[in-house]
Amino acid sequence: MNRSRKYRKLSIQKLKGLQTEYLQGFASISAIANKYGISRATVWKIAKENDWSYASERTKELERFNDISRLRLASQRIDSVEQHALEMQTCRELINEISNLREAELLEKKVDILSKCIKAERTAYGLPNDFRQLETRNETTIKVEDMLQTLDAKKEELASYSIIEPVPPPPELEGAGAQAHPHTLTHDS
Residue 87: inside a domain, yes or no?
yes
Residue 11: inside a domain, yes or no?
yes
- Count CB-CB contacts under 10 A for residue 22: 22
- Paired residues of 22 in beta bridges: none
- The per-residue pLDDT for 173 is 59
- The per-residue pLDDT for 184 is 47
Residue 139: inside a domain, yes or no?
yes
SS3 assignment, position 66: helix
- The per-residue pLDDT for 89 is 84
Q: pLDDT below 50 — which residues of the chain?
A: 178, 182-189
83 shares a domain with 152: yes
Q: If you count them, how many residues does the chain have?
A: 189
Residue 152: inside a domain, yes or no?
yes
Burial 119-156 (b: 16+ CB within 10 A, else e): eebbeeeeeeeebeebebeeeeebebeebbeebeebbe
Number of folded domains in the chain? 2
CA distance 35 to 18: 9
Residue 175: inside a domain, yes or no?
no
Residue 180: inside a domain, yes or no?
no
pLDDT tens track for 41-67: 999 999 999 999 888 888 888 899 999
148 shares a domain with 114: yes
Residue 164: inside a domain, yes or no?
no
- The per-residue pLDDT for 189 is 42
77 shares a domain with 33: no
Residue 173: inside a domain, yes or no?
no
49 shares a domain with 99: no
88 shares a domain with 113: yes
